Each structure stands twice: as structure tokens, then as C-alpha cells.
């Protein structure tokens, strides 16, 4: 496994593999890796000839009041995990290399980014789509892998790829969870013991939605209200949003639509903001 620090060098390596007719699989991450990330890497290994993973905590997708400075980092541990998975190249650029002086070009997806995470974090998706577009131009993948944990991110990136005719297959991967149901996330590290115990409330609320939908409930307001009651049973939890949207347009739904429903929520445990979702 090789660590590559410069965008131009990474691009030259990608060009070589393409010349040799190799299929490139790419997993973009912000590091501090866990089994969720590794599940993406394993799928990329299975599907492609060569696997690139990027580790870059992208300042552009954090608002000034967010956790950019304290975002967890452990590059040595990450390298060792990726090495064990048989990753070929890790792209680990500096902020200066990604955003040199004079940088002023952005990629923005319009309507899909105005709701849910985009409503709570208005500048977030512009940062995500800009960096992902850059990473795609640098790593030149045939396939790129994203987790369904960041459901809206996956939907927005698929839209960007389609709208900008990027010749890349976007693969969405299932959410990997702890044994109690909490979705793995680098931010789980911020939780103290009591918050960690109560963080299961996101999953419990989703299970409540699942149970209601499976027993025939279709009214989105009723489902959201029941989910809210679940979260309110956990004193350390504070709801940011609970919503039910179309998976294809992200428009709010009044009625659950078979095969096109995203139930998602964002909840604070103390100062830590966690997200989770299920697809129906
Ligand atoms: N539990 C998970 N299951 C599957 N994929 C995941 C999981 N957590 C993260 N991913 C995916 O890994 C990729 C990199 O995500 P990122 O580095 O932001 O990790 P994260 O754990 O989601 O961090 P954060 O705490 O910022 O949410 C994204 O495509 C994300 O959806
Ligand atoms: C896709 C991504 C690596 C872009 O910075 C990030 O948003 C993430 O880790 O999900
Ligand atoms: N996994 C999404 C990255 C972020 O929250 O900034």
C-alpha cells in the first residue's frame, strides 16, 4: 500500500492504471476509520482491479460553528487498517493542496440540498459536492462507494454524477451498526458513557417507524409523532429533525410510498449531532 500526498501524483497514478485497462474502485472518507468504512473498502476490493481510499477532513463542508478542529484523526491506525484490507493507494492530501490560494470554483446541487441535512447545515453539501467532484477528477474511479448512513449525501452525489455526465458508477452500501443498533460513525467517539447508552434512541425510533409501517400505518405525521415520543424517552437526546421524504426527490411525504420512502432523523446527544435513517 502506498500513501500519496499530492493530487497531481495521485492523478498520474490513476492515469497509469486507466492506460493499463484496470478498473479503479474509490472510497472517499474523512478518516478515523471503522467497520462502516471498511465494508465499503471490502466491496470496492471485490468489484475492481485496484482500490484507492482518500482520507481528507474537508474544511469546506464544515460550518464555522461545527467540529472541524476536533474531528477525530488517527492516520497511523487508519493506514494500518487499510493495509490489512489490501488497499492499493491512500490519498492523504493537505488542505493547501486541495484548496490552494485563489481557489474559487464550487459544485452545487440545487433542490435536493435544501432539505434535511442541508436545512440544518446550509453550506454542507456545497462543500461535499465540490470536494467529491475534485476527488473524482484526481482518482478517476470507475466506481465509487458511499454509505447509506449519509443517505442524502448519496442521493446528492448520484444527482451530481448524472447532471454533470461524470462517467462513474455510484454504489450505495448498507449501514453498519453496533450490536445495540447504533450506526457506526466517527463522531460516536465524542459520546460519554451516558450519551453512548442513550444514542441507541435513533435506532429505536427507526425501529418504531418500521414496526408501524409493517403493520400498515402510512400516515407520515403519525409515524413522526411516534418516533418523537421514543426519542423523548431519552433525557439526554434533543431532536434536530425527524422527517419522511421521497427517496427520489427528497420531497416531504404525507403518506409512506412503497419503495420510495426515506425515514431519517438527526438528534443531539449533548453537543454531538448524530444522524440515522432507514429506506422503505
Ligand atoms: N455505519 C456506516 N455504515 C456504512 N457506511 C458508513 C457508515 N458510517 C460512515 N459510512 C460511510 O463512509 C463514508 C465516509 O464517511 P465519514 O468518513 O464521514 O464517516 P462517518 O463515520 O460517517 O463520520 P461522521 O462522524 O462524520 O458522520 C461515507 O460514504 C459514509 O456514508
Ligand atoms: C464524502 C466525504 C468523504 C466528502 O468529504 C464525506 O462527506 C464523508 O466522509 O461522508
Ligand atoms: N459523513 C458526512 C460528513 C460530515 O458530517 O461532514
Instruction: Give pLDDT tens digits for 108-144.
Output: 999 999 999 999 999 999 999 999 999 999 999 999 9
Could you name the CATH architecture of 2-173? 3-Layer(aba) Sandwich (3.40)
Taking alpha carbons only, the member of 45, 53, 62 closest to residue 27 is 53
Nearest-atom number in ligand 1 for the CA of 145 is: 29
147 marked as binding residue: yes
Instruction: Give the residue extent of every domain in the chain.
Output: 2-173, 186-279
User: Which of 147, 188, 189, 275, when mutated, tests ligand 1's pocket best, judged by the most ligand atoms within 8 Å of its CB?
Assistant: 147
Could you name the CATH architecture of 186-279? 2-Layer Sandwich (3.30)
Sign of CA dihedral 7, 60, 152, 174: positive
**Closest C-alpha to ligand 3, atom 4:** 61
Residue 186 near ligand 2, beta carbon < 6 Å: no
Interface pTM (ipTM) of the complex? 0.98
**Closest C-alpha to ligand 2, atom 4:** 128
Tell me how far the alpha carbon of residue 13 lies from the centroid of ligand 3, in angstroms.
Answer: 27
Tell me how far the alpha carbon of residue 20 lies from the centroid of ligand 1, in angstroms.
Answer: 31
Which letter, b or e, does each residue of 25-51 get, where b requires 16 or more Cβ atoms within 10 Å of its Cβ?
bbbbbbbbbbebbbbbbbbbbeebebb
Residues of the chain scoring pLDDT < 50: none
Give the pLDDT score at 114.
Answer: 98
User: Which of 28, 32, 36, when mutated, tests ligand 1's pocket best, judged by the most ligand atoms within 8 Å of its CB?
Assistant: 36
Give the pLDDT score at 14.
Answer: 99
User: Which are the catalytic amino acids?
Assistant: 37
Give the pLDDT score at 46.
Answer: 98
From the CA atom positions of the chain, what is the Rg in Å? 19
Amino acid at each position: 500500500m502506498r500513501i500519496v500526498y499530492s493530487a497531481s501524483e495521485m492523478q498520474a497514478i490513476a492515469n497509469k492504471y486507466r492506460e493499463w485497462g484496470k478498473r479503479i474502485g474509490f472510497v472517499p472518507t474523512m478518516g478515523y476509520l471503522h467497520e462502516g468504512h471498511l465494508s465499503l473498502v471490502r466491496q470496492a476490493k471485490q468489484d475492481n482491479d485496484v482500490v484507492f481510499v482518500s482520507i481528507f477532513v474537508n474544511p469546506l463542508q464544515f460550518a464555522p460553528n461545527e467540529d472541524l478542529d476536533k474531528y477525530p484523526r488517527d492516520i497511523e491506525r487508519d493506514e494500518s487498517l487499510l493495509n490489512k484490507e489490501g488497499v492499493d493507494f491512500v490519498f492523504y492530501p493537505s488542505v493547501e493542496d486541495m484548496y490552494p490560494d485563489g481557489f474559487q470554483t464550487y459544485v452545487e446541487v440545487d433542490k435536493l440540498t435544501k432539505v434535511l441535512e442541508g436545512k440544518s447545515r446550509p453550506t454542507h453539501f456545497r462543500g461535499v459536492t465540490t470536494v467529491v467532484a475534485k476527488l473524482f477528477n484526481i482518482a478517476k474511479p470507475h466506481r465509487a462507494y458511499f454509505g447509506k448512513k449519509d443517505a442524502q449525501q448519496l442521493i446528492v452525489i448520484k444527482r451530481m454524477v448524472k447532471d454533470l455526465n461524470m462517467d462513474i458508477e455510484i454504489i450505495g452500501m448498507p449501514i453498519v451498526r453496533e450490536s445495540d443498533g447504533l450506526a457506526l460513525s466517527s463522531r460516536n467517539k465524542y459520546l460519554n458513557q451516558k450519551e453512548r447508552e442513550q444514542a441507541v434512541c435513533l435506532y429505536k425510533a427507526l425501529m418504531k417507524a418500521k414496526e408501524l409501517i409493517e403493520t400498515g400505518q402510512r400516515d407520515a405525521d403519525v409515524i413522526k409523532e411516534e418516533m418523537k415520543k421514543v426519542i423523548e424517552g431519552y433525557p439526554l437526546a434533543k431532536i434536530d429533525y425527524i422527517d419522511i421524504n421521497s427517496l427520489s426527490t427528497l420531497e416531504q411525504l404525507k403518506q409512506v410510498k412503497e419503495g420510495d420512502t426515506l425515514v431519517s432523523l438527526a438528534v443531539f446527544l449533548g453537543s454531538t449531532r448524530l444522524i440515522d435513517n432507514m429506506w422503505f
